[in-house]
Structure 1
Amino acid sequence: MRVLKIAVMAALLVMAASVAFAGPTYDRVMSTKVVKAGLSNQGIPFGFIDDKNEWVGFDVDMAAEIAKRLDCKLEKTVVNNNTRISFVQTNPSKVDMVLANMTHKRVRDEKIDFSITYFFDGQKFLAKKDTVKDVNDLANMKVGSMQGTTSIVNATAYLKSLGNANPKVVGYDGEVAMFEALRSGRVQAISTDSTLLLGYAAKVPGQFELVGEFISDEPYGIGLPQDDSAWRDAVNFAIQDIWRDGTYQKIYDKWFGPDSKYPFPLTSKIEMWP
């Protein structure tokens, strides 16, 4: 009888510990079997509406695969550069995770949590073909970037490093507006993550080109609600499993492989835990 009581008490302690470590997001997702993902619908090729009016992209495929690994249904919600953090912060959160080509920055980590890096990019400039002969030409150009991003900060700092003490950098509300400003000539170059620039340049092949070297490293993380380690672990384990069995490479090649519309070599590997 004493042995049985000890066994029961041990089982209760294990259950109590699991409840204590599980957070509200993890509990809700496991209960409802629905993962609410915040995704861009303008971030070619990460999340966008294609010619068939379907919501597609690298981030969309990754979100679907993560939900599948968790045996959950995926529910998609549109976010942009101004809402992707606030939607995670809302209590209860409007979304359980955000995949929206978002660089993991320390300043952002003060507001929300992040997964391990799941994509590796860097910031560049895009200009009309043959208009930039040397990177120093950018110094006195009017440049567009995006509001609510670190890209606008990086672009401003870079132009200053080229010798322009007061560079003209205009912030636009999203990728579409930024690219249209370049196409119309309201700015002479735009700057953000290179894969986004490749995505929009591919809409009008041969008219635009990336110029200069990378001006920053942009490790993308999945935005997650603060202080929910059980949910963060679940997402991290899913990402690592997707990488381990080769599914990540298939998704990557679909969007960024040598035969894709947006070729971009994979230069790093995801952090793997034994």
Structure 2
Amino acid sequence: MKLSALMTAVLLAAAATAAQAADTLAKIAESGKITLAYRESSVPFSYLDGGKPIGFSVELSNAVVDAVKKKLNKPNLEVALLPVTSANRIPLIQNGTVDLECGSTTNNTARGKDVAFAVNHFYTGTRLLVKKAAHIRNYADLSKKQVASTTGTTNALVMRKYNVEKNLDMDIVLAKDHADAFLLVETDRAVAFAMDDILLFGLIANAKNPGDFEVVGDSLQVEPYGCMLPKDDPAFKKVVDDTIIDLMKSGRFEKMYDKWFMQPIPPRGTALGLPMSPQLRDNIKAPSDKPAT
């Protein structure tokens, strides 16, 4: 009898937890508020301009908000914005502080154990930002040198693995965010910053002296970006997925891409000039949330 009562309690607790995990839309409806995460220096996806978050991924978030307002019939839904870093973005989704994070987060199987990902909206790979004067062309040139990356990123893991495999004896220094890692290179405290190539191009475009820097090296690993949301929440995931797929099918997604990756962007009016990758074009034709391994 005691065992039966205990099992009943366990099952009820598990059911309550599952219900809570799958209740993002209900939570938003009850509170009258949706909380979006943004990054402060993930150019051109999510970054600050005059203290306001802007970027390609910010526009994706805004489109989801419009869909949620319509779904819940709450046109006056409050939108709360919360800055996150590579280190805290996943915990803040897990504990319910943040409802949606559209930034520059890699969708992979390891993270898929803790959070869910929407349809992939970008593909990128780890490369190196360096000063042109350093004459660094590839990873072998980093042997026994100090190299920066960002805490909580797949890039840091990729670099650590590569460092061991190739016996390069790099001193890998982890910064709080991308802007801090860039500063290490800018001030000669690191010879390179290993990160997703698109983010590196964005940082160079907004640098004080963009002509001093370049992106070099082979892509170590091509991975997709996806918006993060709570795990085991099919109703909310459907709203997010449907929103992004609608953007892709309507042609609005490509117009957004052109705006942020091909045309001049704030704050310096510099164009990244990065055409859409074959992987992303394929994903527009057949939308998928397939993670990197």
Q: Could you state the TM-score of these two structures normalised by the residue count of structure 1?
A: 0.83
Task: Give the secondary-structure state (helix, strand or coil) at the position aligned to 2:218.
Answer: strand
Deviation at 1:192, TM superposition (A): 0.7
User: Aligned residue for 1:196?
Assistant: 199
- Closer, same or farther in 2 for the Cα pair 1:152/1:272, shift >3 Å? closer
Residues 163-192 of structure 1: per-residue CA shift (max 9 Å, x gap): 41x321111111111011000100000101
CA distance in 1, matches of 2:137, 2:272: 24
CA contact (8 A) 2:61 2:102 kept: yes
User: Aligned residue for 1:144?
Assistant: 148
CA distance in 1, matches of 2:186, 2:264: 26
CA contact (8 A) 1:26 1:228 kept: no
Residue segments in structure 1 that go unaligned for 5+ positions in a row = 1-19
CA distance in 1, matches of 2:190, 2:245: 41
Task: Give the secondary-structure state (helix, strand or coil) at the position aligned to 1:123.
Answer: strand
1:105-124 matches, cutoff 5 A: 105-124=108-127
Corresponding residue pairs, total: 249
Residues 92-140 of structure 1: per-residue CA shift (max 9 Å, x gap): x111111120101211111111112121111111110152354221233
Residue of structure 2 aligned with 1:56, choices 54, 57, 61 = 54
- Closer, same or farther in 2 for the Cα pair 1:244/1:32, shift >3 Å? farther
User: Aligned residue for 2:6?
Assistant: none
Task: Give the secondary-structure state (helix, strand or coil) at the position aligned to 2:34.
Answer: strand
User: What amino acid is the match of 2:218?
Assistant: E
CA contact (8 A) 1:139 1:160 kept: no
1:1-274 matches, cutoff 5 A: 23-30=22-29, 34-50=33-49, 52-70=50-68, 71=70, 73=77, 74-90=79-95, 93-135=96-138, 136-164=140-168, 166-202=169-205, 203=207, 204-257=209-262, 261-267=271-277, 268=280, 269-270=283-284, 271-272=286-287
CA contact (8 A) 2:148 2:181 kept: yes
CA contact (8 A) 1:132 1:138 kept: no
CA contact (8 A) 2:132 2:212 kept: yes
CA distance in 2, matches of 1:32, 1:241: 27
- Closer, same or farther in 2 for the Cα pair 1:258/1:160, shift >3 Å? farther
Deviation at 1:247, TM superposition (A): 1.3
CA distance in 2, matches of 1:220, 1:33: 29
Q: Quick check: which one's helix share is greater?
A: 2
- Closer, same or farther in 2 for the Cα pair 1:34/1:247, shift >3 Å? farther
Deviates more, 1:127-136 or 1:98-107: 127-136
User: Aligned residue for 2:4?
Assistant: none
CA contact (8 A) 1:84 1:100 kept: no
Deviation at 1:54, TM superposition (A): 2.7
User: What amino acid is the match of 2:88?
Assistant: T
Residues 33-82 of structure 1: per-residue CA shift (max 9 Å, x gap): 643211112222221112x3332111111111221233365432111111
Counting aligned pairs with the same residue, the percent is: 27
Task: Give the secondary-structure state (helix, strand or coil) at the position aligned to 2:217.
Answer: strand
Aligned alpha-carbon RMSD (Å): 2.1
CA distance in 1, matches of 2:131, 2:102: 29
User: Aligned residue for 1:17?
Assistant: none
CA distance in 2, matches of 1:265, 1:240: 20
Residues 223-274 of structure 1: per-residue CA shift (max 9 Å, x gap): 111111111111111110011111111111111126552222211233438x
CA distance in 2, matches of 1:221, 1:25: 18
User: What amino acid is the match of 2:219?
Assistant: F
Residue segments in structure 2 that go unaligned for 5+ positions in a row = 1-18, 266-270, 289-293
User: What amino acid is the match of 1:29?
Assistant: I
Q: Could you state the TM-score of these two structures normalised by the residue count of structure 2?
A: 0.78
